[in-house]
Amino acid sequence: MKIANLDLGEYPLILAPMEDVTDPSFRFMCKKYGANLMFTEFVPSEALIRNIDKSIKKLIINEIERPIGIQLYGHQIPVMVESAKIAAETNPDIIDINFGCPVKKIAMRGAGAGMLRDIPKMIEMTAAIVRAVNIPVTVKTRLGWDEETKNIVEIAERLQDVGIQALTIHGRTRNQLYKGEADWTLIGKVKNNPKMFIPIIGNGDITDGIKAKKMFQQHNVDGIMIGRGAIGRPYIFREIRHFLDTGNFCDPISLREKVEMAKEHFTQSLQWKGLPRGIFEMRTHLSNYFKGLPNSKDIRLRLVTSMNPTEILQTLDEIYSKYSYLDEENFVNTLY
């Protein structure tokens, strides 16, 4: 799959942009385990042009993370254009426009998936951003606003016409949020539309190699984007890649490796975001790293309530000390 001149190889696996999740510490882990392309947390355009420190920091990318895209959202065309110019100055590989975030405070202002209620404005904004920057522009969106407006086939054609280089489609409407199953049939309809020639990336409910391979084969998508399935599970990219390449499952991640992985991730988070934010934003990851451990409610509770980095690292060591026997029993095969 190629986005403009960016060659991502065959069947690329892509880390989705997620607020308070896809920070540099998590991207470091996902890249280590095989993500082919990653995106930053989504950046609010209004905060960016006001030079808000938190948003400016989201533009910082490391060479090891490449290829990487910066995702922007907003509802005002001039502000989005200006923010795209600012983001482009940091030399990302891609500028991505968020037309898919379903969160109420964003969508109801007309940004994110809210733009699905004003398609002419969506197209006008996209065209203006494409004209404003000299790097590939991509879009991430959903099937439509609700069940009555699943007009993604038409939207995809119009977005392509104004110059985007790839389109990612989440297989739900805005009103579904993350409920129910993602509908990949419409994603496949976009991909197999003879009028489409840009890469189509599918997103939604990909949690293992079997599902990924099925979506590549059944719907002919060019790439797959993984979001919630990677939280606390950066090694999902390695697992899926192995299955795609061999048709077999790779050796399961041992508990020892999970503990060391969580420690490395936690240390990176502290280095990047400091206290207390580096702890707060690791909690979902830490909980997911050890989801499924038997009789672990107390120890997992400590992981997500402690504000002391030393205590958290000690608790991680305690997990392995207490449950090391599970590696011998291959218990990790039953996790997730």
Give the model's pLDDT for residue 14. 98
pTM of the complete model: 0.94
The pLDDT tens digits along the chain (336 residues) read: 999 999 999 999 999 999 989 999 999 999 999 999 999 999 999 999 999 999 999 999 999 999 999 999 999 999 999 999 999 999 999 999 999 999 999 999 999 999 999 999 999 999 999 999 999 999 999 999 999 999 999 999 999 999 999 999 999 999 999 999 999 999 999 999 999 999 999 999 999 999 999 999 999 999 999 999 999 999 999 999 999 999 999 988 899 999 999 999 999 999 998 999 999 999 999 989 998 888 888 999 999 999 999 999 999 999 998 888 877 655 444 443
Phi-psi region at 203: left, alpha or beta (left = phi > 0; alpha = psi -120 to 50): beta
| pLDDT for the residue numbered 333 | 47
Neighbours of 228 (CB within 10 A): 17
Rg (CA), the chain: 20
The phi, psi pair for 313, rounded to 5°, reads: -65, -40
Rounded CA separation 329/232 (Å):
22
**Tokens 């003879």 identify what position?**
194
Give the chain's end-to-end CA distance (angstroms, integer): 29
Would you please indicate which residues are annotated as catalytic (active-site) residues? 101
Task: Determine the 3-state secondary structure of 160 from DSSP.
Answer: helix
**Domain locations in the chain?**
2-246, 255-334
Give the architecture (CATH level 2) of 2-246: Alpha-Beta Barrel (3.20)
CA angle 223/238/33 to nearest 5° reads: 100
Helix (H, G, I), strand (E, B) or coil at 251: coil
